[in-house]
Amino acid sequence: MSATEFPKPVPKATPELLPFLDAARAGRLAVQRCGACGTLRFPPRELCSRCWSREVEWTDVSGRGEVFAFYVMHQVYHPGFVADVPYPVVVVKLDEGPTMVSNVVDCPREKLRIGLPVEVVFEEREGVALPKFRPRAP
Ligand SMILES: [Zn+2]
């Protein structure tokens, strides 16, 4: 089995995720903002976890942040990732507050650390722009 026989999965364009995917396709990183209290959140949710409002809008963020946590994936949960293991999965804390699970690209494994300043880049896969992060100057 090769990676080409099993392409990596891409997120489904659900109604909840569509504004995020549309923004990413245009090279922008977007998160939800509560229409009542202004709290930013990601991934998209129906209710604000701070004030429970259902009012929501989407807003662009800078795409800058830092590595909040990471782990190294050794297990193959999807055959599309056979050639990639072991690979790091990161939680990025965006400068604006929300966190996002993603990957870091253009970064040797030994340079990956908690607090590493990163910025978003978009990886095209099957017509979907996936946000990834790369190291940046602090
Ligand atoms: Zn709220």
Within-domain flag for 10: no
Is pLDDT of 115 > 80?
Answer: yes
Number of domains forming the structure of the chain: 1
Q: Are 65 and 92 in contact (CB under 8 A)?
A: yes
Within-domain flag for 101: yes
Site of tokens 């996002």:
100
Within-domain flag for 128: yes
111 Cα–ligand 1 center, Å: 37
112 Cα–ligand 1 center, Å: 34
Within-domain flag for 11: no
Within-domain flag for 97: yes
pLDDT, the chain, mean: 93
3 Cα–ligand 1 center, Å: 42
Within-domain flag for 4: no
Q: Are 66 and 73 in contact (CB under 8 A)?
A: no
57 Cα–ligand 1 center, Å: 11
Within-domain flag for 71: yes
44 Cα–ligand 1 center, Å: 13
Instruction: Please give the average per-residue pLDDT across 58-87, as a whole number.
Output: 95
70 Cα–ligand 1 center, Å: 28
Is pLDDT of 51 > 50?
Answer: yes
Is pLDDT of 55 > 80?
Answer: yes
Record the pTM.
Answer: 0.90
Alpha-carbon span 134 to 49, nearest angstrom: 29
Is pLDDT of 78 > 70?
Answer: yes
Alpha-carbon span 106 to 120, nearest angstrom: 12
pLDDT tens, 117-136? Answer: 999 999 998 889 999 999 99
Instruction: Please give the average per-residue pLDDT across 96-116, as a whole number.
Output: 96
Alpha-carbon span 74 to 103, nearest angstrom: 14
In this structure, what DSSP letter does residue 20 have?
H
Within-domain flag for 64: yes
Q: Which domain holds residue 120?
A: 18-135
18 Cα–ligand 1 center, Å: 21
Instruction: Please give the average per-residue pLDDT across 57-84, as a whole number.
Output: 95
Is pLDDT of 1 > 70?
Answer: no
